Structure 1
Amino acid sequence: MKALFIIFIFCFQLLMSPTMKAQTTFGEGAGEYQELFNRIKERLLDSDESRKVTLGGKERSQFVPWIRDNTHVVKAMKYFVSDISSFWELFMERQTKEGLYYDYYMPITAPENHRMNLFDHRYWKIFSGEKTQMHRLPVEADLEYLLVEGAWYIWQAEGDNEYLHRWMNNLEKGLYYSMNDPLRWSKKYQLIKRGYTLDTWDFMQLPTTREEYTRAGGDVQDGIFNINENTPMGIMHGDNSGLYAACNQLSRMYESMNEPEKAEIWAKQAEIIRIRTNKLCWNGKFYVHFVPDDPMPSYLHMDQKNTLSLSNPYDINRGLPTHDMAVSIIKTYQSLKEKNVLNSFAEWFGIYPPVEPHFADYQPGSYMNGGVNTIVAGELAKAAFQHGMESYGVDILNRLLDLVRKHHGDLPVAYRPDGTVDAGIPDNWGQAAVMSALIEGLAGVVDRGQLFQSVELSPRWLVAGKDDVKITIHYPASDKKVNYHYLQKKNQNRMQLTVSGDPLNYKVRLFLPVGKSPSKVTVDNKSASIKTEKVESSTYVVVEHIPEGEHVIMVEYK
């Protein structure tokens, strides 16, 4: 009897062990994409940038010491770790009275502390008790919408409306700062403006080389980072797609908090930004790099109208372009792949074409000046999956897997066109973009709200050649999850999806083989109406309003 009791206790402890909790996983049936998923997951969880830090009297989980980069990494980390809010909260707590946020923190003895002599006092602060300093690079125009994006991920994964409600006024204050400060807001175009940087990057061109600029008595960091009322500025599409997304995210969060008036205000603001940006920044094929608000400096030799920049895939995933516009952007990258097959190993350029003879001493093909990076690869793959260009999405993932194998399980973020590794960007930023493409693109799990309560499942394993795949996507912060088992039986002309987990409502979109049409759809062996959705040449069978619980959706086709 005692032995049976011991066995019972052991089994109970095993079941209750944290190691037995749900985890975000790709099952063995995913084949090489399980390998890609596992390697990226390992690198994200073991990043050199990630650590526990004590700031503001509290231990915090940092993924990158810059809140911008940290936000981009949380896009993936929300599926793997429970604490995604403490580091974000530090920057929220230290928002300035006018509404701007700091970029980063560093030790008070760091060599960059001389920036305090260059930048206006509104852009920096010393925290003597912690022996740290926090700065805002003045040229940057993205933090206010990125702090909203960070809140959105926290809202999705934690589901704590009461916690987020405490910060909503601050988030609004940040966006109002962006839309009112004369150094941030274009009076002419009523959109966010910035100095002439490379897309969303944080430095401007110099009139000479860095060495010549210093020899003439200038400070390079003042020249590339600082702005004032005399700085030439323009409209960069990525800042405004970020603002558009942030307005929508605020609207959705206010809706969940039962504040319909504020939800409506921000939804309308989003649509205004979308109309203005699409009208001003679209060149017929993609979003132009910059639209001048002030004339470009004479020493900046760029064809802004025909320069393709990294925020284009972000624009798609933020919902700024129409579907046709999104497809045009994706096809532009496909054409670059074909065009550059002899002089670049991939088409995932930060800027194309690069700036000649250099940009602030970054030579063509290096860093953001025509370098190739996995940030673009991940965002572009996800966009391709979600806009009917699934084969291209798989093609990108296959090439990323080749890189992971080449680097023995690692995936650097930055490359030169010849395939050699470059430096300057946190690797986990790019890895997070790739993970998002795997989960939301290939596996097709998209949380349309929070806590997977309303989830869209669009498994695209057919185009990857996988017939039997099990997926679990999990939020450790709330222990909420969604599971599915995708099963394709080609010899029987049918496929099925078994779903379970915490969703209250499922929308299922099953991707049909080319040339096939559905002949029968059932949910739990009960007939369902046949509804299809055409996305480019792809056909999806759509089943909506499937309630909570475990269900089997089956599609027969001919």
Structure 2
Amino acid sequence: MRTVGKLLFLFSVALGNTCLGQAQTEFGQGAGEYQTFFDSMKKQLIQTEYRKTVHFSGKEQKQFVQWIRDHVHVMKAMKYFEPDISSFWQFFVENQTREGLYYDYYYPMNARENHRMNLFDKRYWHIFARDTIQMHRLPVEADLEYLMVEGGHYIWQATGDTAYIRQWIDRLEKGLHYSMTDPLRWSDKYQLVKRGYTLDTWDFMQLPTTRAEYVQQGHDVQTGIFDIDENTPMGIMHGDNSGMYAASRQLAQLYTALGNSQKATYWTEQAEGFRKRTNDLCWNGRYYAHFVPDDPMPTYLKMDQKNTLSLSNPYDINRGLPTDSMAQSIIETYRGLRDSNVENAFAEWFGVYPPVEPSFAGYLPGSYMNGGVNTIVGGELAKAAFQHGYESYALDILNRMMALNAKHGGTLPVSYKPDGTVDAGIPDNWGQAAVMSALVEGLAGVVDLDQSFKQVELSPRWLAANKNDVSITIAYGPSGKSVSYTYQHDSKGKTISLAVKGDPEQYTIRQLLPPGKQLRQVSIDGKKSIASLEKVKDSQYVVIREVPAGTHQVTVSYR
């Protein structure tokens, strides 16, 4: 291989492309500062210290974070760049236990986490002598089973490999059944997933005393914050059940692709049950209450659970749990926190609000998840705002993210204290992935409704960002399947055109109209076409359905 060609090949691989000529996910120059931000996010996601190749069971695995939960959350961005998004996920699926639970993470045998094997029941840990690693499940966690389905769904979409998913779908289903049957996971009272009283989806509970006093009394702190048994007080946390709702829908879609209509119907019905029961139980009139007691809340936990806003609320929206009006209420709640500048915070993306006084398991108010601010919430909130008629607010969030990225020299930390000081404890790429998803699915508006972009929804929102000529390509790293468009807005001629091409078999195009304007005409390749209007809060979208495969010029004129 000639030197220049070799360098180009290595550059291609470094950016997550298997070969030269394969489409790459990119924002064109017309996106301006959003292209710069996109490029920075892409670079950080690819070059993060957490992304590495590991070797277990005699095979290579591509890891994004060594905790499978974090890894799956990062997959929502890495599916656009990384050729291998399945191997690390598969390692955890292969090591699912007989009862159906998954382990959280792996650590070397000489790690400080060794002693957890003496703290937790044997069902929650295992030693892999060949690989000199240990794997644990933090007993209090109730999210892995639905997240593994989410990861499998990303793989199915990005690889286009239905046969691969066929190998693992029984295990994915087994995981959800475990969550729905284990007495430590399932509330018979509410028919919903339960957990110990943690901070939202995070992995630790409150202690009855300070950490120092707890140790002085002869207890191990990690037992107190991580472990559960039949005597542990538990409640219903909305995020676990929005996750189960989304995973049930994803399983239904996977079973449909596999030709199993009976299982698809079953999981569709399960999804609707999760949605109804969670919305009936957990909605407080403005947003989802932090916890609803299944067992009485411990007296030492001083929280108003009903009126505590927690980080899974934006996730709930993006998983499809709330109605449109409920989603808009959640977004309004966050926007209200921004406008009132609560806690004198630089941003409203709190882990929980208000924070727990005087501390939660040793974390002071405003630190980590106890009232800390993080881009996990900000990224998910921006995507939700884009998709529910709050385009200006979504852009405000992204603009503040860009300022943070510039402030930190082209690096976007995930976790902050309310005064803007960088905090620790969460992998930065988890938050960066949420922001990337907001850029791709929110601002660029590219949403894969099926697999390999066969059925794609395009909702370009560049009008809200005052960009008039933008080219976008969104491609999957494993398969190279892609969709591209060039957006052009002629404000004098009162036309918006979209030139589309790529692998879709069918497009649905949702074009945002300027405020106060009315649709005049829609044409496809110069021929008049039928369209409808969709009102999303105060925004109007022109919707053109069933645009067939191929290269097309779609033009919207308004008056």
TM-score where L is the length of structure 2? 0.97
Given that 1:518 and 1:530 are in contact with CA atoms closer than 8 Å, whether structure 2 keeps it comes out as no
Partner of 1:354: 355
Question: How do 1:135-534 residues align onto structure 2 when only pairs under 5 Å count?
Answer: 135-340=136-341, 343-534=344-535
Shift, 1:18, TM fit: 2.7
Structure 1 unaligned blocks of 5 or more: 1-5
Partner of 1:551: 552
Given that 2:26 and 2:473 are in contact with CA atoms closer than 8 Å, whether structure 1 keeps it comes out as yes
Partner secondary structure for residue 213 of structure 1 = helix
**Residues 1:198 and 1:495: Cα distance change in structure 2 (over 3 Å):** same
CA deviations on 1:402-434 (whole Å, 9 max, x unpaired) are 000001110000000000100000000000000
Distance 1:224 1:342 in 2: 27
CA deviations on 1:354-385 (whole Å, 9 max, x unpaired) are 00000001000000000000000000000000
Distance 1:420 1:197 in 2: 24
Shift, 1:17, TM fit: 9.6
Partner secondary structure for residue 482 of structure 2 = strand
Shift, 1:531, TM fit: 1.2
Partner secondary structure for residue 296 of structure 2 = coil
Shift, 1:476, TM fit: 1.9
Distance 1:115 1:18 in 2: 44
Distance 1:478 1:130 in 2: 30
Letter in 1 for 2:346: F
In the alignment, does 2:98 pair up with 1:97?
Answer: yes
Shift, 1:181, TM fit: 0.2
Distance 1:499 1:312 in 2: 34
Given that 1:95 and 1:102 are in contact with CA atoms closer than 8 Å, whether structure 2 keeps it comes out as yes
Shift, 1:338, TM fit: 1.2
Given that 2:471 and 2:484 are in contact with CA atoms closer than 8 Å, whether structure 1 keeps it comes out as yes
Partner secondary structure for residue 129 of structure 1 = helix
Structure 2 unaligned blocks of 5 or more: none
**Residues 1:535 and 1:162: Cα distance change in structure 2 (over 3 Å):** same
C-alpha RMSD over aligned residues: 1.6
Partner secondary structure for residue 344 of structure 2 = coil
Distance 2:151 2:497 in 1: 35
Distance 2:258 2:425 in 1: 40
Distance 1:257 1:481 in 2: 23
Shift, 1:222, TM fit: 0.3
Letter in 1 for 2:231: N
Among the aligned pairs, what percent are the same residue? Answer: 64
Question: How do 1:109-120 residues align onto structure 2 when only pairs under 5 Å count?
Answer: 109-120=110-121
Partner secondary structure for residue 192 of structure 2 = coil
Given that 2:531 and 2:545 are in contact with CA atoms closer than 8 Å, whether structure 1 keeps it comes out as no
Letter in 2 for 1:347: E
Shift, 1:341, TM fit: 5.9
Distance 2:428 2:491 in 1: 39
Letter in 1 for 2:486: H
Given that 2:65 and 2:71 are in contact with CA atoms closer than 8 Å, whether structure 1 keeps it comes out as yes
Given that 1:72 and 1:432 are in contact with CA atoms closer than 8 Å, whether structure 2 keeps it comes out as yes
Letter in 1 for 2:430: W
Given that 2:343 and 2:418 are in contact with CA atoms closer than 8 Å, whether structure 1 keeps it comes out as no
Shift, 1:56, TM fit: 1.6
Shift, 1:257, TM fit: 1.0
Letter in 2 for 1:387: H
Partner secondary structure for residue 20 of structure 1 = coil
Distance 1:303 1:126 in 2: 41
**Residues 1:342 and 1:213: Cα distance change in structure 2 (over 3 Å):** closer
Partner of 1:3: none
Distance 1:408 1:78 in 2: 26
Distance 2:482 2:58 in 1: 32
Shift, 1:530, TM fit: 3.3
Letter in 2 for 1:181: D
CA deviations on 1:40-75 (whole Å, 9 max, x unpaired) are 000000011110000121101000000000000000
CA deviations on 1:307-343 (whole Å, 9 max, x unpaired) are 0000000000000000000000000000000122671
Distance 1:226 1:18 in 2: 47
Partner secondary structure for residue 552 of structure 1 = strand
Letter in 2 for 1:377: G
Given that 2:108 and 2:133 are in contact with CA atoms closer than 8 Å, whether structure 1 keeps it comes out as yes
Given that 2:193 and 2:236 are in contact with CA atoms closer than 8 Å, whether structure 1 keeps it comes out as yes
Distance 2:549 2:36 in 1: 31
Distance 1:30 1:498 in 2: 16
Distance 2:142 2:117 in 1: 19
Distance 2:554 2:273 in 1: 39
Letter in 2 for 1:271: E
Shift, 1:386, TM fit: 0.3
Given that 2:18 and 2:83 are in contact with CA atoms closer than 8 Å, whether structure 1 keeps it comes out as no
CA deviations on 1:480-534 (whole Å, 9 max, x unpaired) are 0000000000010111000000000000011000000111110000100131111
Letter in 1 for 2:200: D
Distance 1:449 1:211 in 2: 52
CA deviations on 1:248-294 (whole Å, 9 max, x unpaired) are 00000111111111100000000001000000000000000000000
Superposed structure 1 runs of 4+ greater than 6 Å apart:
13-17
Distance 2:174 2:21 in 1: 42
**Residues 1:556 and 1:249: Cα distance change in structure 2 (over 3 Å):** same
Distance 1:163 1:341 in 2: 48
Aligned length: 549
Given that 1:336 and 1:347 are in contact with CA atoms closer than 8 Å, whether structure 2 keeps it comes out as yes
Shift, 1:19, TM fit: 3.5
CA deviations on 1:50-104 (whole Å, 9 max, x unpaired) are 1000012110100000000000000000000110000000000000000000000
Distance 1:244 1:201 in 2: 19
Distance 1:274 1:422 in 2: 35
Distance 2:154 2:470 in 1: 26
Distance 2:62 2:189 in 1: 41
Shift, 1:458, TM fit: 0.2
Letter in 2 for 1:110: A
Shift, 1:159, TM fit: 1.1
CA deviations on 1:192-237 (whole Å, 9 max, x unpaired) are 0000000000000001111110011000000000000000000000
In the alignment, does 2:49 pair up with 1:48?
Answer: yes
Distance 1:352 1:56 in 2: 43
In the alignment, does 2:105 pair up with 1:72?
Answer: no
Distance 1:111 1:17 in 2: 38
Distance 1:533 1:347 in 2: 30
Partner secondary structure for residue 130 of structure 2 = coil
Given that 2:351 and 2:370 are in contact with CA atoms closer than 8 Å, whether structure 1 keeps it comes out as yes
Given that 1:197 and 1:203 are in contact with CA atoms closer than 8 Å, whether structure 2 keeps it comes out as yes
Distance 2:18 2:119 in 1: 54
Shift, 1:21, TM fit: 2.3
